[in-house]
Structure 1
Amino acid sequence: MKRRRFLPLAAVALSGCLGARDESGPRTPPLTPKGGPTPEGGRNLRIVDAVPREGEDGSLVFAVTVENTAASSQRDTLVGIATVQGESGSTEYEARRQVSLDGNTEAEFDLVFDVAYEQWAGNGGISYGWQGQL
């Protein structure tokens, strides 16, 4: 008798779990055909990685890796703003670089700032992106 009472309760409990799966496909479907993030601002050029380093002349260099997710060649302008905190406030340094990539390729581009790496390191920050986004 106890089994007969348990079976209807189990069916009700399981139906709630199965009901959540009525939708087809994954809960978070891929955003692009490759499953990666949507290109920034509808652009086919995507910033993959960015690393600050010291240039040969001691200047601040920001190495930005860019990927072209389109089949055709794409162009855009990378913009970086380095901020250095000093005793009298903060100073901003801007660097721009025109980027052109063939379809489905990836490359690294340097943004070179007119400030010494040593002056920036530990006292500053960098914001970067595509022209019109900063």
Structure 2
Amino acid sequence: MQRRQFLSLTAVGLGGCVSASDGSGPRNPPTTPEDGEPVQDTRSLRIVDAVPREGGDGALVLVVTVENTASGTRSDQLVAKATVETDDGTTEYETSREVSLDAGVEAEVELSFDITYEAWTSGGGLSYGWDDQL
């Protein structure tokens, strides 16, 4: 869990758990793959923050702040998964949205789930990241 997210969720007193996959990778990633070419990270969209909230219809909504650090427009698929523990087991809900930002722009992206915020806060988890990382 990212510290900023943990602190903001603790202050609100949420029962759910939030985690992100922002593509930062391992602390010591390999510098050269087997074919000898250096690894290059071309992703320029960066997840800055994410906060779950209740939508107007009572649904769980994840508000994700994303920024484009590139010198041109970039697009990627943002994915989020919510899990809820019930007496019958774990149920998973997934949502996604295409994000496209101009160079140097920061924006909030809302991802809505087909589950109520109340049901999620009573024992759910939440993870999010880019399509190929989650």
C-alpha displacement of 1:40:
3.1
C-alpha displacement of 1:122:
2.9
Match of 1:79 in 2: 79
Match of 1:30 in 2: none
Q: In structure 2, how many angstroms separate the alpha carbons of the residues matched to 1:100 and 1:57?
A: 26
Alignment of 1:88-127 (within 5 A): 88-127=88-127
Could you list the runs of 5+ residues in structure 2 that have no partner in the other structure? 1-21, 25-40
Q: In structure 1, how many angstroms separate the alpha carbons of the residues matched to 2:104 and 2:131?
A: 21
Give secondary structure in 1 for the equivalent of 2:113. strand
- Comparing both structures, which one devotes a greater share of its residues to helix? 1
CA root-mean-square deviation? 1.2
- Tell which structure's C-alpha radius of gyration is larger: 1
Match of 1:133 in 2: 133
Q: Percent identity?
A: 58
Q: In structure 2, how many angstroms separate the alpha carbons of the residues matched to 1:114 and 1:78?
A: 17
Q: Please tell me the residue identity of whatever aligns with 2:86.
A: G
Could you list the runs of 5+ residues in structure 1 that have no partner in the other structure? 1-38
Q: Please tell me the residue identity of whatever aligns with 1:132.
A: D
Give secondary structure in 2 for the equivalent of 1:40. coil
Instruction: Give the TM-score taking structure 2 as reference length.
Output: 0.69
Match of 1:3 in 2: none
Over residues 70-102 of structure 1, what are the superposed CA-to-partner deviations in whole Å (9 max), with x where a residue is unaligned?
010000000000000000111000000100000
Total equivalences in the alignment:
96
After the TM superposition, which segments of 4 or more aligned residues of structure 1 sit over 2 Å from their partners? 39-42
Alignment of 1:40-51 (within 5 A): 40=23, 42=41, 43-51=43-51
Q: Please tell me the residue identity of whatever aligns with 2:124.
A: G
Over residues 1-28 of structure 1, what are the superposed CA-to-partner deviations in whole Å (9 max), with x where a residue is unaligned?
xxxxxxxxxxxxxxxxxxxxxxxxxxxx
Instruction: Give the TM-score taking structure 1 as reference length.
Output: 0.69
Q: In structure 2, how many angstroms separate the alpha carbons of the residues matched to 1:90 and 1:44?
A: 34
Q: Please tell me the residue identity of whatever aligns with 1:98.
A: E
Q: In structure 1, how many angstroms separate the alpha carbons of the residues matched to 2:23 and 2:79?
A: 14
